């Protein structure tokens, strides 16, 4: 049976899982940016830029309303803002980690973005509010993937676009090498720098639990998205899910 959502501990309810993930990200927030860059050898910046460029046409319209969901400290936010004209509608960035949001606000002070501390499964936004919702390496941490897709669909305008950038488990020799790094090396480095062994043991486990591309695309279609695609990045280590809300 496919995973309902993130499970940082055994036999947790969705509410318990969400609370545990929230606490985990609050605890690693001070070292989060450093670890992202170190553990990916800087490739994460390229992934964010590539994802943003995919939605260049939407971002270039001043009237477009854009949301960075599960924004963390706002690195995806920065990539999206770089393609926005000036003046333009204010961009929104949402995360449920208070410590992440605090750092995001500091990093983007003076920029045309509003950071909001909120639950991605219960967004404080009206129906049909956004032309584009992007989530980079955060959707995987939701306690219920199907509910997350439905909530994004609720706040998207008809014809609006969704982009989910997240990790994947590639196959072949690259996949074996990546799996060794991801399961053995990355947790050790992450634990040493962040002093949170559980957080970086959770990371590979969360990727293993996340739906594979064919299943994720089926979930998107069941939630009401059309023209769904998955584009692999860097040998399939990561990839972008894209779809359009039905008119």
Whether residue 181 is predicted with pLDDT greater than 80 in this model: the reply is yes
How far is it, in rounded angstroms, from Cα 228 to Cα 54? Answer: 14
Contact 60, 81 (CB under 8 A): no
CA atoms within 13 A on the CB side of 18: 19
Residue-wise pLDDT for 25-41, tens only, equals: 999 888 888 888 877 87
How far is it, in rounded angstroms, from Cα 41 to Cα 55? Answer: 25
Q: Tell me, what DSSP letter sits at residue 171?
A: -
**Average pLDDT of span 163-192:** 86
Query: Which residues, 6+ apart, have CB-to-CB distance to 33 below 8 Å?
Result: 73, 75, 103
Whether residue 176 is predicted with pLDDT greater than 80 in this model: the reply is yes
What is the per-residue pLDDT for 1? 37
Say what the pTM is: 0.93
How far is it, in rounded angstroms, from Cα 192 to Cα 141? Answer: 22
Whether residue 199 is predicted with pLDDT greater than 80 in this model: the reply is no
Q: Tokens for 79?
A: 């990539």
What is the per-residue pLDDT for 2? 46
Contact 48, 120 (CB under 8 A): no
Residue burial 221-232, b: 16+ Cβ < 10 Å; e: rest: eebbbeebebbe
Whether residue 198 is predicted with pLDDT greater than 90 in this model: the reply is no
Give me the torsion for CA of 167, 68, 4, 245, rounded to 10°: -110
Residue-wise pLDDT for 119-128, tens only, equals: 999 999 999 9
Across the chain, mean pLDDT equals: 92
């Amino acid at each position: 049976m496919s995973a309902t959502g993130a499970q940082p501990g055994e036999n947790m309810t969705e509410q318990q899982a969400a609370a545990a993930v929230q606490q985990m990200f609050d605890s690693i927030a001070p070292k989060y940016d450093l670890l992202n860059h170190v553990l990916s050898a800087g490739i994460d910046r390229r992934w964010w830029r590539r994802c943003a460029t995919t939605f260049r046409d939407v971002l270039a319209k001043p009237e477009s309303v854009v949301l960075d969901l599960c924004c963390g400290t706002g690195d995806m936010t920065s990539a999206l803002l770089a393609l926005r004209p000036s003046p333009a509608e204010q961009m929104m960035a949402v995360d449920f980690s208070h410590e992440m949001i605090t750092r995001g606000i500091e990093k983007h002070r003076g920029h045309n973005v509003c950071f909001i501390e909120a639950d991605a499964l219960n967004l404080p936004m009206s129906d049909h509010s956004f032309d584009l919702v992007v989530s980079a390496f955060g959707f995987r941490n939701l306690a219920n993937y199907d509910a997350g897709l439905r909530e994004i669909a609720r706040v998207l305008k008809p014809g609006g676009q969704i982009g989910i950038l997240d990790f994947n488990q590639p196959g072949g020799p690259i996949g074996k090498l990546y799996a060794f790094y991801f399961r053995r090396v990355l947790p050790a480095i992450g634990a040493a720098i962040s002093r949170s062994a559980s957080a970086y043991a959770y990371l590979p486990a969360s990727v293993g639990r996340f739906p594979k591309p064919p299943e994720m695309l089926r979930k998107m279609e069941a939630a009401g998205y059309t023209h769904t695609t998955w584009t692999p990045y860097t040998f399939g280590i990561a990839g972008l899910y894209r779809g359009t809300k039905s008119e």
